[in-house]
Amino acid sequence: MSSNVKGVFAHLDCLVNAIHNLKQAGYRNIKVAAPLPRHEIEEMIYEGKPSPVRWWTLTGALLGGSGGFALASLSSAVWPMTLPAGKPVVSIPPFIVITFECTVLIGGLMTLLGLLYHCRLPALDLEFELCDPRYTADHFGLVLTDLSASDRTKAGDIIRDAGAVEVVDNVRKEAASG
């Protein structure tokens, strides 16, 4: 059974203060929901750590590029057209176009896969503690999970003191999805 505490904020500075104070108090498992990406939140939670999605893009681009060149070259080798003026079977300039297109295509599709994998999408009921229609409009949410009863009380006080407009102790899945 999950034990959590949730805070709803109408102001960004209050949310940032809450994250700061919770981190000072030693809480680490902080989750935030926001209607837009804000660098203040990103910097406080990830502290400059980059997303691993970049490796998906790089892998896809390398695979796509080499695959595209291989497709053009090997299929030309299977069906060699000996054209006049000594054109080679594997001709770099025209195959660069195919290589480039496949680099972008597979790089892009792998980026999409990476995004879905790391965002854990599609997942309709994941992180139910952060489900709140206000978070796609004009409020910010903060949740701490897996807390003991005393930690919940202490964290709830910090969140309230930072300026939360609402603090909920132990959000239930049924209540969140309803």
Instruction: Tell me the closest approach of the beta carbon of residue 86 to another protein, in angstroms.
Output: 13
* 153 lies in the site for another protein, by CB under 8 A: no
The binder of another protein chosen from 8, 32, 144, 168 (CB under 8 A):
32
* Contact string 92-111 vs another protein (x = CB under 8 A): --xx-xx-xxx-xx-xxx-x
Instruction: Tell me the closest approach of the beta carbon of residue 90 to another protein, in angstroms.
Output: 10
Distance CA 169, CA 65 (A): 52
Distance from CA of residue 129 to its chain's centroid? 18
Cβ proximity to another protein, 57 vs 170, nearer residue? 57
Render 75-139 in DSSP notation, one character per residue.
HHHHS----GGG--SS-HHHHHHHHHHHHHHHHHHHHHHHHHHHHT-S-TTTTGGG--GGGGTT-
What is the DSSP secondary structure assignment for residue 49, as one 8-state letter? P
* 2 lies in the site for another protein, by CB under 8 A: no
Distance CA 145, CA 44 (A): 18
The H-or-E segment that residue 12 falls in is helix 12-24
Give how many residues touch another protein by CB under 8 A: 74
Site for another protein in 60-79 (CB under 8 A): 61, 71-72, 75-76, 78-79
Q: Which stretch binds another protein (CB under 8 A): 122-130, 151-159, 167-175?
A: 122-130
Cβ proximity to another protein, 102 vs 147, nearer residue? 102
